[in-house]
């Protein structure tokens, strides 16, 4: 009985460490892309990439125009020593002068989409689910879209989808943008009525 209790304690501790290891890890991505309230502009320039913490970039932001207006970087999610667990690639897309969306691809780490998971990765904020034609909620795959709001910023939109294999391996992809239209470039998930409804926020 004592050994079972001890094993349960170890398991609980491991889960706690794993969860806290990436608590709000991507809050600085919101810092980079979200538009502050009460400003006249509605996009952020490439200089805002400097606000993103913990990412190793392949080239500096001022060279983004030389690479088809993108930036690519890598980071790690979770505390596994296995390099294949939690390996994460960050892709920032935009035009010559401003950012349109940021895509996060995490290997073999994380959970299916939920409001709690959004807060765990991006920090404190109000999370509202947006219905879409791409929604999925299965044990081995998930797809959901959210509006994420902080007090000091205008809302951003987050599409979070996951896929897991029988062996437990899989991937999570998260796209963040100021406009739901920019998330629609990945898949045609939002009809005109949905885009119009959420464009007012």
**Which one, of 95, 64, 72, lies nearest residue 185 by Cα?**
95
| Residue 22 · residue 85 · CB < 8 Å | no
The mean per-residue pLDDT over the stretch 66-70 comes to 91
Tell me the per-residue pLDDT of 28-50, one tens digit each, with 9 for 90 and over. 999 999 999 999 999 999 999 99
**Which one, of 36, 34, 81, 70, lies nearest residue 177 by Cα?**
34
Q: Distance between CA atoms of 93 and 72, rounded to whole angstroms?
A: 9
Question: Could you state, in order of their start, the residue ranges of all structural domains in the chain?
Answer: 2-198
**Which one, of 167, 163, 19, lies nearest residue 79 by Cα?**
19
The pLDDT value recorded for residue 152 is 95
As a whole number, the mean pLDDT across the chain is 88
pTM: 0.87
Which residue is listed with tokens 């790690």?
A: 76
Where does the pLDDT of residue 136 fall: very low under 50, low under 70, confident under 90, or very high at 90 and above?
A: very high
Q: Which of 75-79, 141-145, 162-166, 167-171 has the lowest mean pLDDT?
A: 167-171
What percent of the chain shows pLDDT beyond 90?
79
């Amino acid at each position: 009985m004592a050994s079972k209790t001890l094993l349960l304690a170890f398991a609980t501790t491991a889960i706690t460490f794993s969860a806290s290891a990436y608590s709000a890890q991507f809050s600085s991505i919101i810092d980079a892309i979200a538009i502050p309230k009460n400003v006249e502009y509605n996009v952020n320039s490439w200089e805002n990439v400097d606000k993103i913490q913990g990412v190793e970039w392949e080239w500096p932001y001022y060279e983004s125009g030389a690479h088809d207006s993108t930036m690519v970087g890598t980071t790690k999610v979770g505390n596994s020593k296995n390099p294949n667990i939690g390996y994460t690639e960050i892709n920032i897309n935009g035009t010559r002068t401003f950012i349109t969306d940021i895509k996060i691809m995490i290997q073999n780490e994380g959970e299916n989409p939920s409001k709690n998971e959004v807060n765990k990765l991006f920090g404190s904020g109000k999370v509202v689910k947006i219905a879409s034609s791409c929604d999925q909620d299965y044990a081995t795959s998930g797809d959901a879209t959210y509006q994420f709001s902080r007090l000091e910023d205008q809302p951003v939109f987050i599409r979070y989808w996951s896929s897991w294999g029988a062996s437990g391996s899989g991937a999570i992809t998260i796209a963040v943008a100021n406009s739901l239209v920019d998330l629609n470039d990945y898949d045609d998930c939002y009809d005109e009525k949905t885009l119009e409804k959420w464009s007012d926020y």
